[in-house]
Amino acid sequence: MPREKVTNVPRLLDAMERERLDAVIAVSPDNFFYTCGRRILSAVSNRNRLAISITMLDASTVLVIHRNEEAQTRQDSWVEEIHTYLEFEQSPIASLVEVLEEKGLAKSRLGIEKEYLTAAYYDELSARLPNASVVACDSVFDWARMIKTKPEIEALRLASRGADEAILRALQKAKPGDTEASLATTMVASLMEISEGDFRDMSWGVASGPNMLITHYWAGRRRIEPGDLIRINLRAALYEYQSHLYRIAVAGPPAERERTWYEKARDNHYRAIERMVPGARVSDLFKAAKRDIETTGVSFHGSLVGHSTGILRHENPRIQPYDGTVIESGMVFAVEPHINIPGYATFHLEDIVLVTDKGPELLSDVVDTRALFVIG
C-alpha cells in the first residue's frame, strides 16, 4: 500500500510558477522522497544509482531509478510511472534525458537541485540536453517544504514522542557507574522496541562530566560518576521524519550550582517555545533568545537557536540572525537556545514544536523537563 501523499502540492506549484519552471527535477534523497514517498538510501552511498523524480506543472511526477529499487518503490510510492536503468549499463542521466524527451521537456526551462547534483552529472546533463535551460531549483523545494502537511505533522509527532520515550527509559534505567555507551545502548534498543523496528537513521550522544564540552560528542567508555551532569541527545527518523532531542540529567542529587543553572536554561527554553507563534520573524526570535542567554551572564556565539525539522533535521527557516522569514501555522521547529559555560558545562535542551493558530504545541512531551532529571 503506498504511503499517504506528503507533498504540499499548492506551495510546490506556486513556487514553480513563480520561477517560470516547466518541471522540477529532484535528485537529493529528501526531495526525491518528498515528491514520491520513498527514500532510497542506496542512491546516497552509491552515486552510480542516482534516484531522480521529475514533477511537472500538472502536479504529476515520474521517477527514474535503479532497477533493483523498483519493486519496493512500487510498493511504497504513490507515483505510478517509474522508469528504470541498470548500473554499468546506462547512466542515470542518460535515462533521465530519455524521459524528458518523451515528455516533450527537452527544450524547456527545467529546475534541478544544483546544491546536490554532482558536478560530473551536471556536466553530463548539459552535454546531453543542449536545448534546455537548466537552472537551480533548490529554493523551490525548500519553500514548499516549510509548511508541513497533515501526514507530515502526524509522523513528526510520532517521531518526537517515540524518541522522548526512549530517552526516558534510558534515564530511568541508568545509574552512577554505568558507562556512557551502556546508556546509549539502552536508549537505542528502546527506540527499536517502542517503534517495533520502524525508527531509523539513529545517531546519539551521551556526554558525561567533562565530555559535555565537546560538540557532537558520541558516547564512550567513561563511567558516570556521582555528581556528573549528563547531556543526552538522540536523533532518529520515523516514517522518514526527523526528531532531534536534547535532555540534561544529573547523577545523584544535584548540587545548588547545577540546579540553578539548569533552571535558568529551562526558563530560557520555555520562553523560546512560547514565542513560536504565527507572525513572529525568525531573526527577532534569534535576537530574543540570545538576549535571554546573555541576561544569565554568559555570552553566546552560536549561529542558531533552532531550526525547522522534517525530512531533514535542519530545514528552512532556521532561527538565525540573517533570516527574515515570518513563521506560519503548520511549521515545525526544533527549539534549542542552549547555555554554554566554558570549562564547566553546556545546558542544552531541545524540543520539537508545532506552530498553530492557537499557539505553540509541544510534540516531544514525554520527559518532564521542569526539574533536572536525577538518575540512580
Within residues 41-70, the interface with another protein by CB under 8 A covers: 41-42, 44-48, 68-70
Assess contact for 24 and 109: CB atoms under 8 A. no
Near another protein in 226-285, by CB under 8 A: 239
Quote the strand ranges of 67-108, DSSP E. Answer: 81-85
The only residue of 279, 299, 322, 368 in contact with another protein, by rule CB under 8 A: 322
- 152 is a site residue for another protein (CB under 8 A): no
Under rule CB under 8 A, residue 130 binds another protein: no
Task: Name the grid cell of 185.
Answer: 545502548
Question: Which residue in the set 145, 161, 231, 266 belongs to the binding site for another protein (CB under 8 A)?
Answer: 161
Least Å from the CB of residue 31 to another protein: 8
Looking at the Cβ atoms of 254 and 282, the one nearer to another protein is: 282
- Backbone φ, ψ for residue 375 (5° rounding): -100, 155
Kindly report the CA angle at 217 between 214 and 222, in degrees rounded to 5?
A: 95
Q: Of the ranges 212-220, 245-253, 284-292, 329-337, which one interacts with another protein (CB under 8 A)?
A: 212-220
Closer residue to another protein in complex, CB, 17/201: 201
Site for another protein in 326-365 (CB under 8 A): none
Instruction: Please tell me whether residue 181 binds another protein under the rule CB under 8 A.
Output: yes
Choices 246-254, 277-285, 297-305, 349-357; region in contact with another protein by CB under 8 A: 297-305
230 closest CA partner among 338, 364, 340, 345? 345
Q: Does 190 bind another protein (CB under 8 A)?
A: yes
Cell of 363: 510534540
Using CA atoms, how far residue 339 sits from 7, 204, 253, 292, 352, in Å, is: 36, 20, 21, 10, 18
Our CB check for another protein shows the closer of 237 and 254 to be 237
Cα 267 from Cα 49, distance rounded (Å): 48
* CA gap 225, 346 in Å, rounded: 17
What is the spatial distance between Cα 70 and Cα 82, in angstroms, rounded to a whole number? 8
